[in-house]
Amino acid sequence: MTLLSGDPRPGGGLNGASGGGLGDEASPYPGEAPIRVGLTAREQVETRWGLVLVVFMRLLAVLWIIQGLLQWSAFMVPHDDLFDHLRMTQSAAVMFFSVIDFLAAVGLWLATPWGGVLWLFAAISQIFVAASVRQVIAPSWIASDVVLIVLYFALTFQAGRPHRGA
């Protein structure tokens, strides 16, 4: 907890600093920095990768919303009776992806950890369904899902990696 006036903790001083200035190493509470202005070069690099990851997740969210809308349109506005002409596995896949795509999109847009996990589940499910159940998902989605998964892991790794000397 950072206070703006005198700190009652041992070491006193303004904002818990015992001596000379902001981020003083002699603070009795290491790791609790007082108010800091600006970012170090290292933090700027980490923030840049974090921003790239969030933008990527938001773009994925838009793509997954479009996919969800397409799945919903398959049984909300069918050209002919969807469930009379499709096999049970195809109908189940359409219903599953109509729900999971929207849930993944919300989690991705919010840039939450569960959103990334849910999106990975949805993307891997798409790969599995495209490979096993025909005429539900185009086989071209297998390659695009693999590329997006690799990109997601690369950006997540870069955003979470401690950068040295930057």
Angle at which helices 41-76 and 140-160 pack, to 10 degrees? Answer: 150
pTM of the entire predicted model: 0.66
> 41: buried, middle or exposed (CB in 10 Å: 19+, 13-18, 0-12)?
exposed
The single-letter code of the amino acid at 160 is G
In the structure encoding, which two tokens stand for residue 24, read together?
Answer: 């003083």
C-alpha span between 117 and 158 (Å, rounded): 17
Spell out the residues 6+ positions from residue 150 whose beta carbon is closer than 8 angstroms to its own: none
pLDDT of residue 62: 96
Angle at which helices 113-132 and 88-109 pack, to 10 degrees? Answer: 160
In the structure encoding, which two tokens stand for residue 147, read together?
Answer: 């590329």
C-alpha span between 38 and 161 (Å, rounded): 21
Residue 6 phi/psi, 5-degree rounding, is -50, 140
C-alpha span between 71 and 92 (Å, rounded): 11
| Residue spans of the chain under pLDDT 70 | 1-46, 78, 80-83, 136, 163-166
pLDDT of residue 53: 92
Residue 139 CA from chain centroid, whole number: 25
